[in-house]
Structure 1
Amino acid sequence: MTHTVWPGNRHYAMIAGLTLTAFATAACSPGPAPDEQPNSAVGLWDPCTEIPHSVLAELGVDPATETGTSRETPRIRLCQWTSSPATWQQILEVTATTIAFDTTKQINAESGFTEITIHSRPAIRTRSVVTPEQGRCDIASASPWGTVTVSVTLNSTDDPCPAAEAAAARLDAVIPQ
């Protein structure tokens, strides 16, 4: 029996787990004051609106292929672009969550990661094989509100980590410190 995993499913499962962890943690904390708005309290950066189209083009993806999460989800923002709407060779996905970077490291501890630095920002790199023909690399880094993950999936047997690290380095200039 062959098991096919579509691009991003592993990441969506991780995000779902992170979101559940965030909600469980939030359930045990006092929460915002009644006059605070959830999104303003979180101050979550939105990759769908904050990454310039020119930067996306530099990274080899088409800004017109954007798909993202609902802006109604207060603790996560996810945006994804592909290199071509007809036949994709690369998927770039950028996720901002309120999950603390240390928690992200704990979640990835079992599957393994490599600690790296993107400019001056602490980060971790994880690598997975989506299918024999597709590889995915995630670069998760610390941010003022939690964690930002830059993921690259390649529709080839090439190692996606150099492209993911290059994308994370280029995006570092637009992600708040």
Structure 2
Amino acid sequence: MPRIHPNRHIRPAQNPPPVPNLYQHQSQSCSDGNRTTAGCVLPLEPIRATADRRAQVGRQATATITALTGVLLLASGCGPDKQGQPAPTTVDTSAATAALWDPCTQIPDQLLRQIGVDPATKKSDILDVPEPGWKICDWHDSELPHNFNVGVLSTIHTVDEFKAKKANTDFANVSVQGRSGFTYRDTSADKSESCYLALPTAHGAVEISAFDVSAKGKQIPPCERAKAAAEILAPVLPR
């Protein structure tokens, strides 16, 4: 909000300004790049996003949260001991998390464009909430509404922890630029929408996630999308 000088006289408006109708298309084009001219209305696709599309985007966040939760429970030692009692362990992950490779700052825009996403759509963490033990970044394509997301997740957790989680399924071995890894999905997500590709690193693991949110996005299966993205990002991924 612009700052107003305390000595500036402000004349109250005689009549309240008209409320713009966001759903009315104007004849003037915005193609000249002038987005401040009166009558220039930007595309309304985000406003008109369907309930089904919003539900699909919500499922992406839910699937990611579900995937992380199981790994965190395994790592925390929240499982029964030999007497059937919980045997929690306490691990300070703050220093280890801070030392992780950060996908939000370490992937050049040029590589992001090569995997088909718009660098300007970057979102960090899960719904912008940091998760201990993880550094997460997510992008989507430039179309509105968007068709797919690609995420990169850096973590202190190991690939063995991913394999041990009961809700993870459909494991398939892959090779990315000579590095051995695997793809999998979480059972809470639709097979046609979501896939993760995991590679071991010295500090834990790095994952590439793909989530298709439209019929157009699903023209490329999510595991194929994740594999193609990993091949392009391989030079900058941590080892």
Q: Same fold (TM over 0.5)?
A: yes
Check the 8 A contact 1:137/1:164 in 2, yes or no. Answer: yes
The structure 1 segments of at least 4 consecutive aligned residues displaced by more than 4 Å after TM superposition are 70-74, 127-132
Match among 80, 85, 99 for residue 157 of structure 2: 99
What is the deviation of 1:94? 0.9
State yes or no: 1:90 paired with 2:148: yes
Please give the alpha-carbon distance, in whole angstroms, between the structure 1 residues aligned to 2:167 and 2:69.
17
Please give the alpha-carbon distance, in whole angstroms, between the structure 1 residues aligned to 2:148 and 2:207.
16
Structure 1 stretch displaced more, 110-119 or 138-147: 110-119
Structure 1 stretch displaced more, 87-96 or 149-158: 149-158
Please give the alpha-carbon distance, in whole angstroms, between the structure 2 residues aligned to 1:40 and 1:135.
31
What is the deviation of 1:110? 5.6
Check the 8 A contact 2:133/2:155 in 1, yes or no. Answer: yes
What is the deviation of 1:131? 5.3
The number of equivalent residue pairs is 168
CA deviation profile, 1:86-138 (whole Å, cap 9, x unmatched): 31111001111111121112226862311222122221112469459x51121
TM-score by length of 2: 0.60
Aligned to 2:89: 28
What is the deviation of 1:16? 2.1
What is the deviation of 1:170? 1.3
Residues 109 and 60 from structure 1, CA distance in 2 versus in 1: closer, same or farther, beyond 3 angstroms?
same
SS in 2 for 1:168: helix
State yes or no: 1:17 paired with 2:73: no
Check the 8 A contact 2:182/2:198 in 1, yes or no. Answer: yes
What is the deviation of 1:39? 2.9
- Segments of structure 1 that go 5 or more residues without pairing to the other structure are none
TM-score by length of 1: 0.79
Aligned to 1:80: 138
Check the 8 A contact 1:42/1:98 in 2, yes or no. Answer: no
Please give the alpha-carbon distance, in whole angstroms, between the structure 1 residues aligned to 2:77 and 2:226.
30
CA deviation profile, 1:32-71 (whole Å, cap 9, x unmatched): 7xxxx93358631111111111111111111111111268
SS in 2 for 1:172: helix
Percent identical among aligned pairs is 26
Please give the alpha-carbon distance, in whole angstroms, between the structure 2 residues aligned to 1:51 and 1:95.
12
Match among 146, 169, 178 for residue 111 of structure 1: 169
Aligned to 2:31: none
Aligned to 1:140: 198
| Higher RCO, 1 vs 2 (CA within 8 Å, ≥6 residues apart) | 1
Larger radius of gyration: 2
Check the 8 A contact 1:104/1:147 in 2, yes or no. Answer: no
Output the aligned Cα RMSD: 3.0
Residues 44 and 140 from structure 1, CA distance in 2 versus in 1: closer, same or farther, beyond 3 angstroms?
same
Please give the alpha-carbon distance, in whole angstroms, between the structure 2 residues aligned to 1:84 and 1:54.
14
CA deviation profile, 1:1-26 (whole Å, cap 9, x unmatched): xxx5522421221112223333448x
SS in 2 for 1:149: strand
State yes or no: 1:163 paired with 2:225: yes
SS in 1 for 2:165: helix
More strand by share: 1
Residues 41 and 10 from structure 1, CA distance in 2 versus in 1: closer, same or farther, beyond 3 angstroms?
closer
For residue 15 of structure 1, what is the amino acid of its counterpart? Answer: L
